[in-house]
Amino acid sequence: MQGAVQGENGTLQSIYDYTSTEKAQLIWAVAIGTIIGTIPYNWMYVRYGAKNVFLSAGIISLIATSCTPFAAANNYILLLVIRLIQGIAYAADFAVIGIICVKWAPHDEVAFFVSVLTVFSPFATVITTAVTGFLCTSSFGWRSSFYVHSVAGAVCFILWYIVYSDDPLSHSSVTSKELANIQKGKSAAHFEQKR
């Protein structure tokens, strides 16, 4: 039986049969990683802008996600570290929402921007749960869900890199009328990038 080990009493058990404590640790690792990553990402966004920093977080997330099946099959501590790294990368998501709102949202549309940008989390859960369920019950197996999500994430981050600009002033698709609307009522501090 693949993925099985002989237990203390001689019966076979899956290497993926985690204890309640191990399951909790795997969930906590993401939360702890998110806490750890929050301040550094905020600092990097202010210092370097969101485009490349968020792309870097995406690459870290994609690598960690695609390594998850290997880690799960080989070493619990490695899996725990991978989950921690996923949490650190995830910390970039919510911080980037603030940067986008400050740079791109007109003052009277900030609430709308926040609501649209935060709906990704439940929306992503609906999609990824359905896709994962399909893949896990298909001949592709559960491991494929990590690879498919990594590829889908790569597509999203490539689109991010192509479409997003740290500054509406330098974005080729922003008209002067749109720029005036974005900048209306904002101070120079909204447009500065700290070095």
**pLDDT tens track for 54-83:** 999 999 999 999 999 999 999 999 999 999
Q: Is 85 exposed, middle or buried (0-12, 13-18, 19+ CB in 10 A)?
A: buried
Q: How long a stretch of residues is the chain?
A: 195
The residue-averaged pLDDT of 165-193 equals: 81
**pLDDT for residue 20:** 94
Mean pLDDT taken over the chain? 89
pLDDT digits (tens, 9 = 90+) for 110-155: 999 999 999 988 898 999 999 999 999 999 999 999 999 999 999 9
pLDDT exceeds cutoff 80 at 5: no
Looking at CATH, the fold of the domain delimited by 19-190 is given as Growth Hormone; Chain: A; (1.20.1250)
Rounded to two decimals, what is the model's pTM? 0.85
SS3 70: helix
AA identity, residue 58: G
pLDDT exceeds cutoff 80 at 108: yes
**pLDDT for residue 195:** 45
